[in-house]
Structures are given as structure tokens and as C-alpha cells.
């Protein structure tokens, strides 16, 4: 039995690809450590915002209405100090807000506005407050609306005025809940492209493919073993990322686990097919780099991995939704956060599998072994 | 055999018979057609005209069988860096359904016992080339194709490769086709030498036959000193200028 395995070329090829992969520290870093670091960084950056802070520039004399507000509720009267003054609005129903007021010149305020360090400038206009902000900047709009509300009627300061608000605490609405499924999908695409496409191109460039096909090795065994190892590695990478997100951020899967397996496998098939197709001809690693980036970069930007793709123009959404990475990320996200099951993911799974199969067959037809 | 690539006539009517157990050297400058000829024998290029028969069989329809008869070592083939010597040999052995025993024999033959657990990336140039040679003779090939197997190696490493090949010549019935830049290599290893230029065979025969010139030199000598002198006589230029 042992001898049979020793001689079996598919077994040997799979074993060698696996050994090669796990012995490469770079592969482990980019496949396992990097996605975890990314989720940690982005998760912390977007989660630790119990207080929303708006930085506001005070230029010139502070208007009396604002000065008296800061005297009553702020850390200090604005006109008495030359430094920063803070105003905290603690309200569990609307969310906590902090305004940080910085006295500065108009020129300084312009520079900081351009750098994104503040979104709102207040000046005095004949004893009244004048607000300056970019109406196309949502943060500027929000800072204005909140501050003017406080200055005009102090409504945000009074919890009783928000009795009609019922705060929602729904699972799966945090940024990390949005991010992790996207990172899993992106990991599958990225790892498969580099792990399969680049490896094939590099082996062609090294003449190793030519050397191997000069033996009685079955060509299909080589490709099957590479894809098998990549799917196994993608699975391990995804499970580790998920485990980390569960431990650190308490992320959970609300939908069907078997359906998650199905869409994960279908996504792997689609990516593997595309990987074989783009690596089918070139023997130059520089061109391979370009081809892999040409496939992964647009999908990474468009497919809503880090931010929702619904901000793109309506006419482009049809195309974006039909990209393999979007389909995979949306389906995984639906299972994680919306409790989706077979009914929701069967069609995307089928389309992804077909996509992979078509690209795989097309790639094999033009595949250059030497 | 005839083979052209667009306007370039790489091989222009070469007719060659290699006997069982014969070691043949293909000598010629860059662009002589040596590599194209080897690639056609290897089965990865199809001749435009002519046919290649290995043990009497053409490539068409016999590919799987012929692949089992051929051993190949290419110039500067790089294997999988993070596999050990023994893992690399076992991988290639599995393509021929060969077991551990043959792998051990080869490790002994190529003198890499101490390096069996070393990663390929950590081998020296000579050790890597010995591994490449070991891989090419795993299957006891009927035909061994070696494309410049010692290019870039120091004299000691080159001598080690030659020793392995000479041992192979004594013990196995393998025919070898070797392309090389080194005259001495052809002289030491091969009993038949083919000198090529511009896709044609200029002359062929044993070293003795080739160095005995039919035309006397200006000093009245009929015996040439080396193959380089022969090439100058045939073409008016040095073999590797």
C-alpha cells in the first residue's frame, strides 16, 4: 500500500507541491498572517469608534452663541484659552459625539481641510456663527448638522428629546462583519492566482514544465495536484482567518455551513480555471505578474471587498455583480450576515463552477508546456 | 529532417543514424541547429519534412511508449527549490512507476548521498547538474539527450559528470546524444562526432576519422590536432568565436 503511494505520480506531485508551499515562509505570511493583520488593522480602525469625533477649526473671534455653549458644556470657554476646547455629547440613543475645536488662522484651516484633518470651519459673522464646509463631503455635512443642532436648540444634549429613537443592536452590521467574508473571497482569488498561475509560469520559464512533460507524467495530474494543494491551502487560510475573527471580534456564521462549503468550493473552481487560463501561454514572469494583477486588481477594487460597491454608478452594478469575486464575496457575506442558505447560493455556485470549467478548458486548449 | 521557423531554416536536411550504445556529440556554433535537432528527437518539435524513428517507432501514436525510453537533461534546468534531493528523485521516479530502490541506486551513482536531504536550492552548480543527470537516467533510458550538461561548471565538477557518463557507457546499453561547447568533452565521452553549421551536417565520424584530413595542410600534414582546427578548415572560422 505504502509502495503504491510512493509510485503514484498524482500522490507524489500533490505531496511535493504541498511541501514546497508550506516550506516557503513568504507563502505562509501572505496567505495566513497578512489577511489576519489586515483584518485586525481594519477591524480596530473601524470598530473603536464609540465616540465620533469631529475636528472643527475656529477662525477669528468665536461667536457668542458658541462661546456660551462651550462655557456651559465644553472643557473651557473658547475665547479664554488659546488652545483646543472639547465638547462631549454623551447620548446612548444617537451615539456619543465629541467636537474638538481648534483656534487657527484661515490659511491653517484650509491646509488642514485639504489634508482631511478637519471638515468644518466656524467663524463669527456680526455676532452669529457662520459655518464653512464642503457640501459634497458627508463628514462635513454631518459635523455641520450636529453642531448647528446643538448651538440652535441643544436638542442633541438632551436625551429626553430622543424618545422616538429605538437603537438597533443587530448582528452582522459591523464593518468587521462586512470585511471578513470579503477577505476570505479575496484570499481565495489572490492565493490561487499567485499559487497556481505564477507557479506555472515560473516553471515554464525555468524549463521545469518541459523537463516534466518529457517523462510519461500525465499532464492533467500536474494541474490537478497544483489545484488540489491550492484549494487545501485556501481552506486552511480561510479557517484560520475565521477563527481569528471569531476569537477577536466575535464574528459568527448565521447561515448554512454546507452552503458556505459549496460557494467556497465553487469560488475556488472559478479562480483555478481563470488561473490556468492566464498562465496558459507566457513563459515570462514579468508578463505573468502583469496578467495576474490585471485580473486581481480590478476585482479587488470593484467587488466590494473593503467597501460596498453600491457607491459605483448604477449602470456599472450589473457588471460588478457578475464578477467572480463579487459573486463569491456577496454569497459568503449573505451566509455570514444574512443567514442565507442553499436557495440563495445555489445559482452563484453554479455560475462560478461553470466559469471555472470554461476557463479551464479554454486554458488547456492553448496551454504551452515548453 | 527539415525544420524552419518562419524565414529561419534551422535544420536543412539532416540524416542521422545512432546505434544502440553509441555516444554521439553534436558540435557546432550557436545557430547551427543542434537544439532544434535535439528538440525534434525529444518529440517537442515536429519536423516539417522527414521522420524520427526511435527503436524503429515514430513519435506519432507512440508518444507514451517513447517517453519511457528517453532521458533528458537540459541546460540550466531549475528544479523545485524547496524539495530535497531525494524528494525530487522520488517525484520523477513516480512518473516511471519506479520505487525507492532505483532512487537509492541513482543517489549512489551521482554521488549525492551526503546531500540527499538538502534542498535543491542549496546545492552547488555541479551538484545540481549531477542531480539533473540522475533524473535523466532514472528510467535506464534507451536514448539519453544531454543539452550542454557541463556548461558553466568548473573543471572538477565537469570531470565528475564525465565519470558518471563513462560509468553509464560501460554498464548500460544507453545511446547518448550530447550537445556541447567543449571539444574535450566530445573527445573524452563520444565515439561519434557530428559537426553542424547552418542547419546541415558538415562532417561526421569518430574522432580519429575526423582528425585525419583528406586534404594535406600547407605544411603537408594530413593529421589535424583538434576539432577546432577541423572546423576552421571546413568553414574558415573558429567553432566558438
Residue A346: pLDDT over 90: yes
| Cβ–Cβ contact A215 with B under 8 A | yes
| Cβ–Cβ contact B96 with A under 8 A | yes
Residue B111: pLDDT over 80: yes
Among residues A121, A143, A167, the one where a domain terminates is A167
Q: How far apart are CA B205 and CA A274, in angstroms?
A: 52
Q: Are strands B2-5 and B8-12 parallel, antiparallel or unpaired?
A: antiparallel
Give residue B169's Cα distance to chain centre: 13
For A256-277, the pLDDT digits (tens) are 999 999 999 999 999 999 999 9
| Cβ–Cβ contact A16 with B under 8 A | yes
For A274-307, the pLDDT digits (tens) are 999 999 999 999 999 999 999 999 999 999 999 9
Residue B50: pLDDT over 60: yes
CB-nearest partner of B67 from A3, A216, A370 = A216
A46 falls within a domain: no
CB contacts < 8 A (A, B): 73
pLDDT value for B31: 84
A326 and A237 part of one domain: yes
DSSP string across A324-343: HHHHHHHHHHHHHHH---HH
Q: Which residue in A77, A80, A87, A79 sits closest to A56, CA to CA? A: A87
- Phi, then psi, of A307 in degrees rounded to 5: -140, 155
Topology at the third CATH level for domain B2-69+141-235? Rossmann fold (3.40.50)
Q: How far apart are CA A79 and CA A64, in angstroms?
A: 9
Higher pLDDT, A147 or B234: A147
A5 falls within a domain: no
Q: Among all residues of chain B, which has the CA nearest to that of A206?
A: B78
| Cβ–Cβ contact A13 with B under 8 A | yes
Q: Is A101 helix (H, G, I), strand (E, B) or coil?
A: strand
A188 and A330 part of one domain: yes
A123 falls within a domain: yes
Q: Which domain holds residue A295?
A: 175-366
Q: How far apart are CA B129 and CA A154, in angstroms?
A: 83
Mean pLDDT of the residues in chain A? 89
Q: Which residues of B touch A204 (CB under 8 A)?
A: none
Residues 6+ apart with CB under 8 A from A312: A302, A320
- Across the range B69-96, mean pLDDT stands at 92
A188 and A327 part of one domain: yes
Q: Which residues of A touch B98 (CB under 8 A)?
A: 7
pLDDT value for A309: 93
| Cβ–Cβ contact B198 with A under 8 A | no
Residue ranges per structural domain of chain B: 2-69+141-235, 77-140
Q: Which of A133-137, A320-324, B73-77 has the lowest mean pLDDT?
A: B73-77
A256 and A351 part of one domain: yes
A339 falls in which pLDDT band (50, 70, 90)?
Answer: very high
A129 and A199 part of one domain: no
Confidence (pTM): 0.82
pLDDT value for A50: 65
A241 and A283 part of one domain: yes
- Phi, then psi, of B132 in degrees rounded to 5: -60, -40
Q: How far apart are CA A14 and CA B218, in angstroms?
A: 65
- Across the range A29-48, mean pLDDT stands at 82
Among residues A111, A143, A167, the one where a domain terminates is A167
CB-nearest partner of B99 from A3, A19, A210 = A3
| Cβ–Cβ contact B102 with A under 8 A | no
Q: Which residues of B touch A369 (CB under 8 A)?
A: 44
A248 and A317 part of one domain: yes
Nine-digit cell at B35?
Answer: 537544439
- Across the range A71-81, mean pLDDT stands at 70
A157 and A182 part of one domain: no
Residue A316: pLDDT over 80: yes
CB-nearest partner of B77 from A6, A206, A217 = A206
Residue A239: pLDDT over 90: yes
Q: Which of A14-28, A46-60, A173-187, B15-29 has the lowest mean pLDDT?
A: A46-60
Q: Among all residues of chain B, which has the CA nearest to that of A369?
A: B44
Mean pLDDT of the residues in chain B? 88
Q: What is the DSSP letter of A76?
A: S
A7 falls in which pLDDT band (50, 70, 90)?
Answer: low
Q: Among all residues of chain A, which has the CA nearest to that of B83?
A: A20
A257 falls within a domain: yes
For A161-171, the pLDDT digits (tens) are 777 888 777 77
pLDDT value for A112: 93
Among residues A132, A167, A202, the one where a domain terminates is A167
When computed from its CA atoms, the radius of gyration of chain A, rounded to whole angstroms, is 28
For B134-184, the pLDDT digits (tens) are 999 999 999 999 988 888 888 888 898 999 999 888 877 889 999 987 888
Strand partners, B195: B27, B203
Contact status, residue A327 vs residue A352, Cβ threshold 8 Å: yes
Contact A206 B78 (CB under 8 A): yes
Higher pLDDT, A159 or B197: B197
| Cβ–Cβ contact A211 with B under 8 A | yes
CB-nearest partner of A217 from B95, B99, B135 = B95
Q: How far is A14 from chain B (nearest CA, A)?
A: 10
- Across the range A188-216, mean pLDDT stands at 93
CATH number for A153: 3.40.190
| Cβ–Cβ contact B72 with A under 8 A | yes
Q: Are strands A85-89 and A96-103 parallel, antiparallel or unpaired?
A: antiparallel
Q: How far apart are CA A254 and CA A257, in angstroms?
A: 9
A295 and A148 part of one domain: no
Contact B74 A210 (CB under 8 A): yes
Residues 6+ apart with CB under 8 A from B53: none
A98 and A223 part of one domain: no
Q: Which residue in B175, B176, B235 sits closest to B203, CA to CA? A: B235
pLDDT value for A82: 66
| Cβ–Cβ contact B137 with A under 8 A | no
Structure ipTM: 0.87
Q: Which residues of B touch A3 (CB under 8 A)?
A: 99-100
Q: SS3 string of chain B?
A: CEEEECCEEEEECCCCCCCCCCEEEEECCCCCCHHHHHHHHHCCCCCCECCCEECCEECCCCHHHHHHHEEEECCCCCCCCCCEHHHHHHHHHHHCCCCHHHHHHHHHHCCCHHHCCCEHHHCCHHHHHHHHHHHHCCCCCCEEEEECCCCCCCHHHHHHHHHHHHHHHHHCCCEEEEECCCHHHHHHHCCEEEEEECCEEEEEECHHHHHECCCCCCCCCCECCCHHHHHHHHHCCCCCC
Q: Are strands B192-197 and B175-179 parallel, antiparallel or unpaired?
A: unpaired
Residues 6+ apart with CB under 8 A from B37: B1, B11, B14, B16, B26, B196
Q: Which residues of A touch B96 (CB under 8 A)?
A: 215-216
Q: How far apart are CA A325 and CA B163, in angstroms?
A: 56
| Cβ–Cβ contact B93 with A under 8 A | yes
A78 and A226 part of one domain: no
A8 falls within a domain: no
pLDDT value for A20: 93
pLDDT value for B116: 95
User: Which of B62, B80, B84 to probe by mutation at the A interface, max A CB count within 10 Å?
Assistant: B80
Q: Is A229 helix (H, G, I), strand (E, B) or coil?
A: helix
pLDDT value for A255: 95
A319 falls in which pLDDT band (50, 70, 90)?
Answer: very high
Q: A131-169: string of b/e by CB count within 10 Å (b at 16+)?
A: bbbeeeeebbebbbebbebbbeeeebbeeebeeeeeeee
Residues 6+ apart with CB under 8 A from A240: A32, A36
Give residue A10's Cα distance to chain centre: 36
A149 and A205 part of one domain: no
Q: Which of A70-79, A83-92, B41-50, B96-105 has the lowest mean pLDDT?
A: A70-79
Domain count, chain A: 2
Q: How far is A224 from chain B (nearest CA, A)?
A: 15
Residue A205: pLDDT over 60: yes
A366 falls in which pLDDT band (50, 70, 90)?
Answer: very high
B127 falls in which pLDDT band (50, 70, 90)?
Answer: very high
Amino acid at each position: 500500500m505504502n509502495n503504491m503511494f510512493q509510485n503514484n505520480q498524482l500522490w507524489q506531485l500533490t505531496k511535493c507541491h504541498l511541501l514546497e508551499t508550506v516550506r516557503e515562509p513568504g507563502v505562509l505570511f501572505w496567505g495566513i498572517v497578512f489577511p489576519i493583520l489586515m483584518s485586525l488593522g481594519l477591524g480596530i480602525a473601524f470598530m473603536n469608534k464609540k465616540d465620533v469625533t469631529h475636528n472643527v477649526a475656529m477662525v477669528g473671534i468665536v461667536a457668542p452663541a458658541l462661546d456660551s455653549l462651550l462655557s456651559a458644556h465644553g472643557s473651557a470657554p473658547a475665547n479664554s484659552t488659546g488652545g483646543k476646547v472639547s465638547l462631549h455629547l454623551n447620548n446612548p440613543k444617537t451615539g456619543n459625539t465629541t467636537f474638538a475645536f481648534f483656534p487657527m488662522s484661515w490659511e491653517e484651516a484650509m491646509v488642514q481641510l485639504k489634508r482631511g484633518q478637519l471638515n468644518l470651519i466656524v467663524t463669527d459673522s456680526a455676532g452669529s456663527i457662520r459655518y464653512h464646509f464642503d457640501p459634497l463631503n458627508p463628514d462635513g455635512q454631518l459635523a455641520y448638522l450636529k453642531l448647528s443642532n446643538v448651538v440652535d436648540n441643544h436638542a442633541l444634549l438632551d436625551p429626553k428629546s430622543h424618545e422616538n429613537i429605538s437603537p438597533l443592536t443587530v448582528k452582522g452590521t459591523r464593518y468587521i462583519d462586512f470585511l471578513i467574508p470579503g477577505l476570505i473571497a479575496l484570499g481565495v482569488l489572490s492565493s490561487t492566482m499567485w499559487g497556481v498561475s505564477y507557479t506555472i509560469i515560473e516553471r515554464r520559464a525555468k524549463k521545469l514544465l518541459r523537463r516534466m512533460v518529457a517523462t510519461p507524467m500525465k499532464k492533467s495530474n500536474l494541474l490537478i495536484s497544483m489545484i488540489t494543494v491550492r484549494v487545501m491551502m485556501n481552506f486552511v487560510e480561510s479557517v484560520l482567518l475565521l477563527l481569528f475573527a471569531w476569537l477577536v471580534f466575535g464574528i459568527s456564521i448565521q447561515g448554512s455551513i454546507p452552503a458556505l462549503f459549496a460557494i467556497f468550493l465553487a469560488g475556488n473552481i472559478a479562480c483555478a480555471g481563470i488561473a490556468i487560463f492566464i498562465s496558459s501561454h507566457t513563459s515570462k514572469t514579468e508578463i505573468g505578474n502583469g496578467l495576474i494583477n490585471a485580473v486581481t486588481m480590478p476585482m479587488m477594487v470593484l467587488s466590494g471587498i473593503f467597501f460596498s460597491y453600491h457607491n459605483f454608478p448604477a449602470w456599472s452594478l450589473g457588471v460588478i455583480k457578475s464578477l467572480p469575486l463579487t459573486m463569491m464575496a456577496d454569497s459568503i457575506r449573505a451566509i455570514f450576515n444574512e443567514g442565507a442558505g442553499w436557495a440563495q447560493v445555489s445559482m452563484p455556485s453554479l455560475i462560478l463552477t461553470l466559469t471555472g470549467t470554461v476557463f479551464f478548458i479554454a486554458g488547456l486548449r492553448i496551454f504551452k508546456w515548453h | 529532417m527539415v525544420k524552419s521557423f518562419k524565414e529561419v531554416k534551422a535544420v536543412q536536411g539532416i540524416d542521422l543514424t545512432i546505434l544502440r550504445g553509441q555516444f554521439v556529440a553534436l558540435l557546432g556554433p550557436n545557430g547551427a541547429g543542434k537544439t532544434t535537432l535535439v528538440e525534434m528527437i525529444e518529440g517537442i518539435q515536429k519536423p516539417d519534412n522527414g521522420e524520427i524513428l526511435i527503436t524503429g517507432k515514430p513519435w506519432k501514436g507512440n508518444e507514451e511508449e517513447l517517453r519511457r525510453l528517453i532521458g533528458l537533461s537540459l541546460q540550466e534546468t531549475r528544479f523545485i527549490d524547496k524539495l530535497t534531493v531525494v524528494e525530487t528523485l522520488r517525484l520523477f521516479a513516480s512518473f516511471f512507476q519506479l520505487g525507492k530502490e532505483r532512487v537509492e541506486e541513482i543517489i549512489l551513482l551521482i554521488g549525492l548521498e551526503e546531500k540527499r536531504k538538502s534542498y535543491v536550492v542549496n546545492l552547488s552548480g555541479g551538484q545540481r547538474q549531477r542531480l539533473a543527470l540522475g533524473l535523466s537516467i532514472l528510467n535506464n533510458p534507451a536514448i539519453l539527450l544531454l543539452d550542454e550538461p557541463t556548461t558553466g561548471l568548473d573543471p572538477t565538477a565537469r570531470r565528475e559528470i564525465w565519470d558518471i557518463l563513462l560509468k553509464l557507457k560501460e554498464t548500460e546499453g544507453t545511446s547518448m546524444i550530447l550537445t556541447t561547447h567543449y571539444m574535450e568533452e566530445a573527445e573524452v565521452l563520444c565515439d561519434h562526432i557530428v559537426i553542424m553549421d547552418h542547419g546541415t551536417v558538415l562532417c561526421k565520424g569518430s574522432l580519429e576519422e575526423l582528425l585525419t584530413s583528406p586534404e594535406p595542410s600547407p605544411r603537408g600534414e594530413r593529421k589535424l590536432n583538434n576539432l577546432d582546427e577541423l572546423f576552421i578548415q571546413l568553414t574558415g572560422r573558429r567553432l566558438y568565436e
